[in-house]
Amino acid sequence: MVRTGLDSGSASGYEAEARAFGELAMTPQSAALRSLFFASTALKKERGGNAQPHALHRIGILGGGLMGGGIACVTATRGGLPVRIKDVNETGINHALKYSWDVLSKRVRSKRMRPAERQKQMMLISGSTDYSGFDQVDVVIEAVFEDLSLKQQMVAEIEQHAAPHTIFASNTSSLPIGQIAAKAQRPEQVIGLHYFSPVDKMPLVEVIPHATTSEETIATTVALAHKQGKTAIVVADRAGFYVNRILAPYINEAARCLLEGEPIESLDKALVDFGFPVGPITLLDEVGIDVGTKISPVLVEQLGPRFAAPAAFDAVLKDGRKGRKNGRGFYLYPSEGQQRQRHKRADTSVYILLGITPKSHLQQAVIAQRCVMMMLNEAARCLDEGVIRSARDGDIGAVFGIGFPPFLGGPFRYMDQLGVEKVVKTLEYLQRQHGEYFAPCERLQRMAQQGERFYPQGS
């Protein structure tokens, strides 16, 4: 277009630009990106329920770890709300404060914020090793260890020390919210609020009401998420909720490809080339290998053996590998003082642990197909079971929570683009090749037979 303008004059250049823009605007990628824009805009206006949200004046946070610190940061710096952090020791509180200080200092260094504004925002965050100040908070967000009895204890203590109207929101990634609320005096004020790491960068939260959560609690929790700058989807209180449930089969299939001898870097490259921001093995390192192993048994227990991670992967965790957080995972991480490598390198000792000899032998497209088809199949199950309220919410959850390629519009838009009949045929082929866990779900089979779509044609 620039060349056309230079060679033939500005009028010809503008005409070429308009023609090229028109061609781009009519592509499937353009339609997918526009659908995401309108979906996320609509979600920001929704309350999540029929009730009016309560006013929000102060927020409490239990746990000053990485998640607690991140939640405190977005609550104070984006929501402008005072935050009170409780941790068992002052070290935890200091860690949480440092999280916000580091985020704000980065803005100061890039001249996007004055030091005085940084100080003003930091003054919104305070901490304590007891419950002083919690009698004035409207919502308490719990971000402690994934232990059911501990979380139930936190509910009891908040009901004792906080105001009668205080909502208890758990940031659990795997435990059923109904069980966390089982011993509560006010179970209608208990809800799940699942953030993704790093909290200040990941735009999605899952809001998870259990069977007796009130409409007011749902609406207030969604309102808080909006104040924090988050896009919130309301999902059912089922194992894995939505994002982790569709993520688990995807990562498990990448693990099977690894056990077939495909190198770690090759697996990650296949999915990055497909459009994901990072590959599944890198993602597992970032999230935490130990976190994945905690979620997997819950999924297997409640949803069946298709969620079972390959048994050989137990050796990775037994070797003390938790991923980036302890500097030991599938990739090599520089120790303190060492220079960062420009390109990450796989830790070849993992291959010895797993008893495999790495060799690239699978086509990149085949790797991507196997992993993505597992995710698509599970997303359709989630819609069929009412885990998500709509295909729109499922697409937003996958794109904003996992990094599903936005130019494909999300799992449901992508299935419409491929054609549900083709998705079913591909799953049946993979089922014959690799096993029953690829069997297409009933929803997809029914839709294929009836020629149905997830979205109306042309929407």
Average pLDDT over residues 97-118: 96
Rounded-to-integer distance, Cα 193 and Cα 221, Å: 8
404 within some domain: no
Among residues 207, 234, 261, the one where a domain terminates is 234
Quickly state the pLDDT bin for 344 (edges 50, 70, 90): confident
* Beta-bridge partners for 125: 83
Among residues 234, 250, 274, the one where a domain terminates is 234
* 194 within 8 A of 208, measured Cβ to Cβ: yes
- pLDDT at position 411 over 80: yes
| Residues 230, 244 within the same domain | no
CATH number (domain holding residue 99): 3.40.50.720
Rounded-to-integer distance, Cα 400 and Cα 403, Å: 6
pLDDT of residue 184: 97
Average pLDDT over residues 246-265: 96
Q: What is the pTM of this model?
A: 0.93
Q: Which of 167-171, 177-181, 290-294 has the lowest mean pLDDT?
A: 290-294
pLDDT of residue 124: 97
Q: Name the average pLDDT for the chain.
A: 93
- 3-state secondary structure at position 385: coil
Which own/partner pairs from 114-119 qualify as long-range (CB within 8 Å, at least 24 positions apart)?
Answer: none
pLDDT of residue 341: 62
pLDDT of residue 30: 92
Instruction: Using only the alpha carbons of the chain, give its radius of gyration.
Output: 24
- pLDDT at position 105 over 80: yes
| ∠ CA 180-74-86, rounded to 5° | 50
| Residues 308, 189 within the same domain | no
Structure tokens at 262: 């495909």
Rounded-to-integer distance, Cα 70 and Cα 95, Å: 10
CATH number (domain holding residue 363): 1.10.1040.50
Quickly state the pLDDT bin for 338 (edges 50, 70, 90): low
- pLDDT at position 1 over 80: no
Quickly state the pLDDT bin for 336 (edges 50, 70, 90): low
| Residues 77, 127 within the same domain | yes
Rounded-to-integer distance, Cα 313 and Cα 289, Å: 10
Among residues 176, 208, 234, the one where a domain terminates is 234
- Which of 159, 206, 253, 378 is catalytic? The answer is 206
Between 289-303 and 243-259, two packed helices, what is the crossing angle to 10 degrees? 110
Structure tokens at 82: 């005072």
- pLDDT at position 393 over 80: yes
| Residue 442 annotated in active site | no
| Residues 172, 256 within the same domain | no
CA dihedral 207, 144, 134, 58 (to 10 degrees): -40
Rounded-to-integer distance, Cα 6 and Cα 44, Å: 44
Domain count, the chain: 2
Dump the DSSP string for 216-263: HHHHHHHHHHHHTT-EEEEB-SSTTTTHHHHHHHHHHHHHHHHHTT--
33 within some domain: no
| Residues 336, 202 within the same domain | no
CB proximity list for 76: less than 8 A, separation 6 or greater: 82, 83, 100, 121, 122, 124, 125
| Residues 160, 276 within the same domain | no
pLDDT of residue 188: 98
Which own/partner pairs from 433-436 qualify as long-range (CB within 8 Å, at least 24 positions apart)?
Answer: 434/256, 434/370, 436/306
Does the N-terminal peptide bond of residue 334 adopt cis geometry, omega within 30 degrees of 0? no
144 within some domain: yes
| Residues 81, 221 within the same domain | yes
| Residues 147, 280 within the same domain | no
Structure tokens at 236: 């059912």
29 within some domain: no
From start to end of 13-153, where are the E strands?
59-62, 83-86, 125-128, 139-142
Structure tokens at 251: 């990562």
| Residues 351, 424 within the same domain | yes
Average pLDDT over residues 422-435: 97
| Residues 216, 265 within the same domain | no
pLDDT of residue 342: 66
Rounded-to-integer distance, Cα 80 and Cα 74, Å: 9
Structure tokens at 363: 């086509």
118 within some domain: yes
Q: What percent of the chain has pLDDT over 70?
A: 98
Q: Which domain holds residue 266?
A: 240-387+419-458
| Residues 134, 253 within the same domain | no
pLDDT of residue 102: 96
Structure tokens at 264: 């770690």
> Which of 125, 141, 115, 112 minimizes the C-alpha distance to 81?
125
Quickly state the pLDDT bin for 263 (edges 50, 70, 90): very high
| Residues 204, 299 within the same domain | no
345 within some domain: yes
- pLDDT at position 287 over 90: no
53 within some domain: no
Phi and psi for 195 in degrees, rounded to 5?
-95, 165
12 within some domain: no
